[in-house]
């Protein structure tokens, strides 16, 4: 609550004063006064301060950051890499330096049972003993389940974070909320009002209280993969935004923008399967995934996936007979089961394979990626790649 400042003049050293600033200059303070403005001199002084990077060219202190993308596209693995890098001091993605090590809190709303496997895989990939890294002294905390931030859960979470930081004797370095949907609460994420409540709770209780980055993992909508799902309030509020999509084993990490710094370059990462060193109850080796850097360049424009990508890979720069190309595609595509729908996991029949071939070649030709030579009847004779 902001205390009302009285405007009745009072006498100070023979002078009638009513301006609160004048009272302070006379050594008279106003208890619990919250200043709502700063001078232009202070604005310029703050602008001259270096950017408070927490992770080099990636994460800035006292900000809201959004990691978004379609479901099951390795967003959590990217967020966990940030978390564990901050907790241990090891470089993010093996490349970006940690500039503020401290307590990191992972608010796990989904996939809770798999977090341990992912942490173990990360340690093994970094050539570190999981038992040494994951000791009680490591400043990393995972919630026992979702925290309903929009329903007031942020206050209790913040209080516990403060206790954990005091016990560890370190500052709070980052708070990761995965995902927004599972930690949102009973509100509607499409509602401007409800999303405002969620953002305000994150701002007031988490970001402002600890001056730490708050990273929110969120999904894209069913009909739009270029923006985060729900009310646009969230996108307007965040200070940085990272898009994550994948075409296994490639994971495309695209920082879209940063309000107060130049966004880091995009990367093609690799989703690497890492054996965890033990078997399941059926004797099969248990594995998890960790993200790693590659030398691949992120192509501009729409990316090819699935059948279109396969068709292009089977074609060369030199003209190739169309029928032979088609037969090769059908042979290779038959090895891949149906990806979604009621027949998910089943083998594709000849009819669906021919439909997939038609859609793939039409897409490649429409986007100008291939050149098709046709006879006088319009039948395709040969094709070659014009661009990838």
Three-state secondary structure of 363-388: HHHHCCCEEEEECCCCCEEEEEECCC
What's the pLDDT at 271?
95
Q: Residue 130 — very low, low, confident or very high, per pLDDT cuts 50/70/90? A: confident
Helix (H, G, I), strand (E, B) or coil at 95: coil
Question: What is d(CA 218, CA 179) in angstroms, rounded to the nearest whole number?
Answer: 5
CATH 1.10.10 occupies which residues in the chain?
306-385
Q: Say which DSSP state 344 is in.
A: T
**Architecture of the domain made up of 53-297:** 3-Layer(aba) Sandwich (3.40)
Question: What is d(CA 271, CA 292) in angstroms, rounded to the nearest whole number?
Answer: 7
In the chain, pLDDT over 70 holds for what percent of residues? Answer: 88
Among residues 164, 180, 191, which one has the least CA distance to residue 87? 164
Among residues 275, 256, 274, 277, which one has the least CA distance to residue 265? 256
The residue with tokens 């090891």 is 90
Q: What is the pLDDT of residues 84-127, one digit of tens each?
A: 999 999 999 999 999 999 999 999 987 787 899 999 999 999 99
More confident residue, 7 or 339: 339
CA distances from 60 to 184, 302, 371 (A): 23, 30, 47
In this structure, which topology does domain 306-385 adopt according to CATH? Arc Repressor Mutant, subunit A (1.10.10)
Q: Residue 33 — very low, low, confident or very high, per pLDDT cuts 50/70/90? A: low
Residue 134's φ and ψ, nearest 5 degrees, are: -95, 55
Q: Say which DSSP state 3 is in.
A: P
Do residues 352 and 363 lie in contact, with contact meaning Cβ atoms separated by under 8 Å? no
Least confident of 58-72, 233-247, 292-306: 292-306
Question: What is d(CA 13, CA 10) in angstroms, rounded to the nearest whole number?
Answer: 10
Among residues 181, 183, 143, which one has the least CA distance to residue 160? 143
Least confident of 196-200, 302-306, 360-364: 302-306
Q: How many residues does the chain have?
A: 388
Q: What is the pLDDT of residues 40-89, one digit of tens each?
A: 999 999 889 999 999 999 999 999 999 999 988 999 999 999 999 999 99
Residue 83's φ and ψ, nearest 5 degrees, are: -55, -55
Mean pLDDT confidence for 144-149: 96
Among residues 170, 167, 184, 44, which one has the least CA distance to residue 101? 170
CA distances from 56 to 53, 86, 262, 358 (A): 6, 11, 12, 46
Angle, helices 322-333/350-366, rounded to nearest 10 degrees = 120
CATH 3.40.50.300 occupies which residues in the chain?
53-297
More confident residue, 280 or 23: 280
Mean pLDDT confidence for 132-143: 87
Question: What is d(CA 140, CA 164) in angstroms, rounded to the nearest whole number?
Answer: 9
* DSSP tally for the chain: helices H, then strands E: 13, 16
């Amino acid at each position: 609550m902001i205390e009302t400042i009285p405007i009745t003049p009072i006498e100070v050293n023979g002078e009638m004063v009513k301006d609160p600033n004048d009272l302070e200059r006379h050594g008279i303070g106003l208890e619990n006064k919250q200043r709502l403005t700063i001078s232009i001199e202070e604005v310029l002084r703050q602008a001259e301060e270096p950017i408070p990077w927490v992770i080099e060219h990636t994460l800035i202190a006292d900000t809201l950051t959004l990691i978004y993308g379609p479901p099951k596209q390795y967003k959590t693995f990217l967020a966990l890499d940030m978390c564990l890098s901050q907790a241990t001091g090891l470089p993010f993605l093996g490349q970006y330096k940690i500039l503020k090590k401290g307590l990191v809190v992972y608010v796990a709303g989904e996939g809770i049972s798999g977090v341990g496997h992912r942490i173990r895989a990360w340690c093994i990939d970094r050539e570190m003993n999981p038992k040494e890294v994951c000791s009680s002294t490591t400043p990393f905390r995972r919630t026992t389940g979702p925290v309903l931030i929009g329903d007031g859960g942020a206050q209790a979470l913040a209080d516990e974070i403060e206790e954990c930081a005091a016990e560890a004797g370190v500052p709070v370095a980052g708070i990761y909320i995965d995902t927004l949907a599972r930690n949102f609460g009973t509100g509607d994420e499409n509602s401007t009002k409800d999303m405002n409540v969620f953002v305000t709770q994150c701002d007031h209780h988490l970001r402002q209280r600890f001056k730490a980055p708050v990273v929110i993992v969120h999904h894209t909508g069913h009909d739009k993969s270029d923006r985060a799902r729900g009310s646009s309030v969230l996108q307007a509020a965040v200070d940085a935004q990272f898009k994550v999509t994948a075409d296994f084993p490639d994971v495309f990490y695209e920082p879209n923008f940063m309000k107060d710094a130049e966004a880091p370059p995009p990367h093609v990462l690799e989703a690497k399967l890492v054996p965890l060193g033990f078997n399941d109850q059926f004797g099969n080796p248990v594995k998890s995934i960790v993200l790693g850097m590659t030398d691949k360049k992120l192509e501009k424009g729409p990316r090819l996936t699935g059948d279109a990508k396969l068709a292009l890979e089977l074609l060369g720069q030199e003209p190739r007979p169309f029928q032979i190309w088609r037969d090769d595609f059908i042979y290779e595509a038959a090895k891949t089961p149906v990806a979604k729908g009621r027949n998910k996991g089943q083998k594709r029949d000849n009819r669906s394979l021919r439909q997939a071939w038609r859609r793939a070649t039409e897409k490649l030709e429409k986007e100008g990626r291939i050149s098709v030579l046709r006879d006088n009847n319009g039948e395709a004779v040969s094709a070659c790649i014009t661009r990838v």
